[in-house]
């Protein structure tokens, strides 16, 4: 969330920057609300000051034996005016907050212009996409032929865009999650957490999923509480520090978690509905870092390297791109996408997004630290996928498939699985 005063001070520059991401800032409405709020606060302060003065006069007059009836009536009227002013101030503040909650983050200057993935700028490619002497299969055909993926029975259980992993498939899913957690906790310095999958409306608002993206969320309830299934562990991990002040000496904070994630994917209209690429429920290992504002850029680069480490451990070819301003998420000011090569599609597909939110989420969620003068100030937040299990599993199957229908697994997974190859019939082999 923005500080209204900052946007107003920026003026047309704020309008211009938000226009880069397709948002039209109504600066006059924002200025009007802020002015009304300030006047209401000033009026309330003046009334309370007058009320205090009258109360003192009542005491002095009463001690002197004078008539205080007129003064008491004045005091009563002042209290009524104060209540009305405070109610009006609350209404204006709510209106201002509701407006600010709908304004996306300002895109960073280094984010290229554009509003879709076509305008992303490639930063680097790592690894060489495999060349096959045969027509490569996609992960669905591979997995179903092996008997390790079962989309038909998943549909029977829950409808389309769910999956069942069986035998070696389930073991591979577990091994990937453990590999990623080990990398992040043992090599990269993150602290692993086990967090709730159901969170409150306030928690969803803190990281920016609400109010704008409610249609993309699965909602339920417990007793008299509205609860939402998390779309990513970013939500509970970041909000662990909501309404807290983190001492500068404890920054940066580095958190990770392996969770199930739930997304309705409203508006996707059939895109990527085949296989593991875009599902309603999927497993993911998430990374979150909380830092001082001037540390955010460096912390983001670290997180990108941590996500890349996961792909390198699996011998997967990938590339890194900078998303265009108009294709950057609501809360982010800058996003790098890591895209893994999928042979069946002969293209790179997004497998991890690493985003710098600046102080946007910190201000929304009340996550603060202290500046050099000891004054509380919003902290910066950074998050990224490290990595989604389903998409990674799909890439492993596709990039490491063999002519005989088997899959030769990367060495890094052997210590978790105990075997190197998944044979064409879905059974493991140590060879």
Q: How far apart are CA 275 and CA 161, in angstroms?
A: 8
Q: Is 352 annotated as a binding residue?
A: yes
Active-site entry in 40, 331, 344, 353:
353
Q: Is 398 annotated as a binding residue?
A: no
Q: Is 163 annotated as contributing to ligand binding?
A: no
Query: How many whole angstroms separate alpha carbon 15 and alpha carbon 31?
Result: 13
Known binder of ligand: residue 353?
A: yes
Choosing from 43, 214, 350, 412, the catalytic residue is 350
Distance, in Å, from the CA atom of 109 to the CA atom of 192, rounded to the nearest integer, reads 33
43 is in an annotated binding site: no
Does the annotation list 8 as a binding residue? no
Which of 20, 21, 289, 391 is catalytic? The answer is 391
Active-site residue 84, yes or no?
Answer: no
User: Is residue 274 flagged as an active site residue?
Assistant: no
Residues 21, 263, 368, 421: which is the catalytic one? 263
For residue 286, say whether it is annotated as part of any ligand binding site: yes
Question: Cα dihedral sign for 358, 332, 354, 192?
Answer: positive
- The residue with tokens 């211009």 is 16
Active site residue 32: no
Catalytic annotation present for 319: no
Tell me: is residue 351 an annotated ligand-binding position: yes
- The answer to whether the beta carbons of residues 242 and 361 sit under 8 Å apart is no
Report the C-alpha gap between 218 and 215 in whole angstroms: 8
Separation between Cα atoms, residue 363 and residue 105, nearest integer Å: 11
263 part of the active site:
yes
Q: Which residues have CB under 8 Å from 104's CB, separation 6+?
A: 18, 21, 23, 330, 331
According to DSSP, the β-strands at 121-126 and 318-322 are antiparallel
| Residue 305 marked ligand-binding | no
Q: Does 411 show up as a binding residue in the annotation?
A: no
> At residue 423, what are phi and psi to the nearest 5 degrees?
-70, 165
| 268 marked as binding residue | no
Active-site residue, from 48, 166, 174, 278: 278
Mark out the alpha helices in 102-190 (DSSP H runs). 139-146, 151-158, 168-182
Residue 385 annotated as binding? yes
d(CA 165, CA 147): 9
Cα dihedral sign, 48-54-56-58: negative
What residues form the annotated binding site for ATP?
Answer: 263-265, 350-353
Query: Which residues are catalytically annotated?
Result: 263, 278, 350, 353, 391
What residues form the annotated binding site for L-serine?
Answer: 232-234, 286, 385
What residues form the annotated binding site?
Answer: 232-234, 263-265, 286, 350-353, 385
């Amino acid at each position: 969330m923005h500080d209204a005063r900052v946007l107003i001070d920026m003026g047309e520059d704020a309008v211009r920057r938000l226009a880069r991401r397709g948002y039209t800032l109504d600066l006059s409405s924002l200025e009007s609300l802020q002015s009304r709020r300030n006047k209401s606060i000033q009026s309330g302060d003046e009334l309370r000051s007058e009320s205090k003065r009258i109360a003192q006069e009542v005491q002095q007059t009463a001690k002197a034996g004078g008539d205080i009836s007129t003064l008491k009536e004045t005091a009563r009227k002042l209290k009524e005016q104060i209540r009305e002013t405070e109610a009006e101030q609350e209404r204006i503040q709510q209106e201002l907050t509701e407006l600010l909650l709908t304004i996306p983050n300002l895109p960073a200057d280094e984010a290229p212009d554009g509003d879709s993935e076509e305008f992303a700028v490639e930063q680097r490619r790592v690894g060489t996409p495999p060349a096959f002497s045969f027509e490569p299969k996609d992960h669905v055909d591979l997995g179903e032929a092996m008997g390790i993926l079962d989309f038909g029975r998943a549909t029977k259980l829950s409808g389309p865009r769910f999956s069942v992993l069986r035998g070696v498939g389930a073991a591979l899913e577990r091994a990937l999650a453990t590999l990623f957690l080990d990398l992040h906790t043992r090599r990269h310095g993150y602290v692993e957490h086990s967090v709730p999958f159901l969170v409150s409306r306030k928690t969803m608002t803190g990281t920016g999923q609400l109010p704008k993206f409610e249609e993309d969320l699965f909602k339920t309830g417990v007793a008299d509480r509205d609860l939402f299934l998390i779309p990513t562990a970013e939500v509970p991990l970041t909000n662990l520090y909501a309404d807290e002040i983190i001492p500068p000496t404890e920054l940066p904070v580095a958190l990770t978690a392996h969770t199930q994630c739930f997304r309705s994917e409203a508006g996707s209209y059939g895109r990527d509905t085949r296989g593991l690429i875009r599902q309603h429920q999927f497993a993911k290992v998430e990374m979150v870092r909380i830092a001082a504002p001037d540390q955010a850029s460096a912390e983001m680069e670290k997180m990108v390297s941590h996500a890349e480490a996961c792909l390198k451990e699996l011998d997967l070819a990938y590339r890194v791109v900078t998303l265009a301003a108009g294709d950057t998420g609501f809360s982010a000011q800058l996003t790098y996408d890591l895209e893994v090569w999928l042979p069946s599609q002969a293209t790179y597909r997004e497998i991890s997004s690493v985003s710098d939110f600046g102080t946007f989420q910190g201000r929304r969620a009340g996550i603060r630290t202290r500046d050099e003068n000891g004054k509380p100030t919003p902290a910066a937040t950074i998050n990224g996928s490290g990595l989604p299990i389903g998409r990674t599993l799909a890439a492993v199957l596709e990039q490491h498939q063999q002519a005989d229908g088997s899959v030769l697994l990367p060495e890094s997974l052997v210590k978790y699985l105990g075997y190197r190859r998944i044979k064409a019939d879905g059974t493991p082999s140590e060879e």
